[in-house]
């Protein structure tokens, strides 16, 4: 029965490109027209995976790759995931399989509840793997979010610096301003704003690893008097700040909590303040997180649609001063991370086993495909409490460039 359902699903799903599948019983099957897409051959060696693919295709596919029971005999991982993406992915599944995603969508208020204790555990699952590991593929400033490739030929370091500079211009920071960095990571943004703009930065994180590294970096730079890193949930803050920045943290908030998040931003923001929220998002309707991604990489994580974010903002009196959409930048960022990750496999193997390596390869490659073949983007939302806090055009963002020319 499971074999029949899997074959019927693939026949319905794969129209573009070509897919050849060899099942555990040795039978070989071909799908697709053979044009306008990758040419991929797969071999499945574990009969139990047939049932798993019916029950949860995304989870089963990722686990089979991690365990080595899914073997890519022609093409590569990127081509396999792209083949499924260009054929519609979960949106093209038959009703029987699609019903599981519909049920998870209805239950996501529980899956993404992310209370104080759960939020800390979710962050520790991903970010406390060890600094030695992240150092193998991140840039020298430890930026673990989308870089900004403003021109051809930029290095990863240059593109990450360009991202921070772009955000700083939107914040219109002046020396002495109090800045809150929600989800401050390893402190790269805090260091930039304190060192280059004279800001007094308070960074909050739920990762003990990140807090320790950020504090050490601030001390090494002689900026401990300007940077205060706290192991604290943003929801427990009760101060006011001139500026608020949050880069790559909103993905961990969860759809049921957007009202709470944006209301807290409003409460913490000075009347003349500016907030800049940088987050992965989707140019499409609300959905659910892949169960594979939620289980192995980002428990409690979710990439929102703009409609969901707008709903959260609209529970406040905040002005949506500007919303910018980045397309393509994160796919390129992920390609750079993958290249560095693969170049350091020997060092990764000193820390983790081959299953972990396949897990992270699947994550990095799958994320890249999400930005290239699905509708994933990055939203930058500039929010204010007053209408005229920021200029009415974006010309101010490029004033220095224009002056130099």
**Cβ burial, residue 189 (10 Å; 0-12/13-18/19+):** buried
The secondary structure element, H or E, covering residue 246 is strand 241-247
Phi, psi of 176 (to 5 degrees): 90, -10
Q: Flag whether 367 is in a domain.
A: yes
- Model pTM? 0.92
Distance, in Å, from the CA atom of 161 to the CA atom of 141, rounded to the nearest integer, reads 9
| 375, 302: one domain | yes
Cβ-contact 74, 30 below 8 angstroms: no
Phi, psi of 393 (to 5 degrees): -130, 170
pLDDT tens for 96-139 read: 666 666 666 666 666 666 666 665 666 666 666 778 999 999 99
**Among residues 84, 106, 128, which one ends one of the domains?**
106
Other Cβ atoms closer than 10 A to 239 = 9
**Number of structural domains found in the chain:** 2
> By residue range, what is the domain housing residue 248?
116-404
Q: Flag whether 381 is in a domain.
A: yes
pLDDT of residue 401: 59
With a cut of 60, say whether residue 166 has pLDDT above it: yes
Over residues 8-30, mean pLDDT: 95
| 98, 125: one domain | no
Distance, in Å, from the CA atom of 98 to the CA atom of 93, rounded to the nearest integer, reads 6
Q: Dihedral (C-alpha) 276, 310, 144, 214: value to the nearest 10 degrees? A: 50
**Helical axes 156-171 vs 329-343, angle rounded to 10°:** 140
Hey, what are 289's tokens?
């997180």
pLDDT band at 405 (very low <50, low <70, confident <90, very high): very low
Distance, in Å, from the CA atom of 228 to the CA atom of 239, rounded to the nearest integer, reads 14
| 97, 126: one domain | no
Report the SS3 class of residue 346.
helix
DSSP state at residue 183 = T
**Among residues 106, 131, 153, which one ends one of the domains?**
106
With a cut of 70, say whether residue 358 has pLDDT above it: yes
Q: Flag whether 111 is in a domain.
A: no
Over residues 253-282, mean pLDDT: 96
357: CB partners within 8 A, 6+ apart: 345, 348, 349
With a cut of 60, say whether residue 337 has pLDDT above it: yes
The partner residues of 376 in beta bridges, in order of sequence, read 282
pLDDT tens for 203-257 read: 999 998 899 999 999 999 999 999 999 999 999 999 999 999 999 999 999 888 9
Tokens 């239950």, located at residue: 107
Hey, what are 73's tokens?
């005999």
CATH of the domain at 38: 3.30.1050
Distance, in Å, from the CA atom of 82 to the CA atom of 368, rounded to the nearest integer, reads 10
Cβ-contact 258, 112 below 8 angstroms: no
CATH of the domain at 239: 3.40.50.150
| 160, 257: one domain | yes
Cβ-contact 389, 273 below 8 angstroms: yes
**Helical axes 354-372 vs 329-343, angle rounded to 10°:** 160
| 132, 253: one domain | yes
């Amino acid at each position: 029965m499971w074999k029949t359902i899997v074959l019927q699903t693939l026949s319905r799903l794969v129209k573009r490109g070509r897919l050849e599948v060899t099942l555990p019983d040795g039978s070989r099957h071909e799908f697709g027209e053979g044009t306008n897409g990758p040419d991929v051959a797969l071999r499945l060696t574990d009969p139990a995976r047939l049932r798993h693919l019916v029950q949860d295709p995304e989870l089963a596919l990722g686990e089979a790759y991690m365990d080595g029971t899914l073997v890519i005999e022609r093409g590569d991982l990127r081509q396999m995931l792209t083949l499924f993406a260009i054929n519609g992915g979960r949106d093209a599944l038959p009703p029987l399989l699609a019903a599981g995603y519909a049920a998870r969508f209805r239950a996501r208020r529980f899956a993404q509840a992310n209370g104080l204790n759960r939020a800390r555990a979710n962050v520790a699952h991903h970010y406390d793997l060890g600094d030695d590991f992240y150092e193998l593929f991140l840039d020298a400033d430890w930026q673990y979010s989308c870089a900004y490739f403003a021109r051809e030929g930029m290095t990863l370091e240059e593109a990450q610096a360009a991202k921070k500079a772009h955000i700083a211009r939107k914040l219109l920071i002046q020396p002495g301003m109090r800045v809150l960095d929600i989800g401050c990571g390893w402190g790269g943004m805090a260091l930039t704003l304190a060192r280059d703009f004279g800001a007094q930065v308070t960074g909050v994180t739920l990762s003990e690893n990140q807090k320790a590294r950020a504090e050490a970096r601030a001390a090494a730079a002689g900026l401990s008097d300007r940077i205060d890193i706290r192991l604290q949930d943003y929801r427990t803050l009760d101060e006011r700040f001139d500026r608020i920045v949050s880069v790559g943290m909103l993905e961990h908030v969860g759809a049921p909590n957007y009202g709470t998040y944006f209301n807290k931003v409003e409460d913490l923001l000075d009347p003349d303040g500016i907030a800049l929220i940088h987050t992965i998002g989707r140019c499409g309707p609300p959905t659910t997180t892949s169960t594979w991604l939620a289980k192995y990489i980002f428990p409690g994580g979710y990439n929102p649609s703009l409609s969901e974010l707008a709903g959260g903002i609209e529970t406040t009196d905040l002005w949506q001063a500007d919303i910018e959409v980045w397309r393509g930048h994160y796919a390129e960022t992920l390609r750079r991370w993958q290249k560095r990750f693969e170049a350091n496999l020997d060092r990764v193997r000193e820390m983790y086993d081959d299953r972990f390596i396949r897990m992270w390869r699947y994550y990095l490659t799958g994320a890249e495909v999400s930005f290239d073949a699905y509708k994933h983007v990055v939203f930058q939302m500039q929010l204010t409490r007053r209408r005229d806090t920021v200029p009415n055009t974006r010309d101010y963002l490029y004033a220095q460039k224009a002056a130099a020319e």
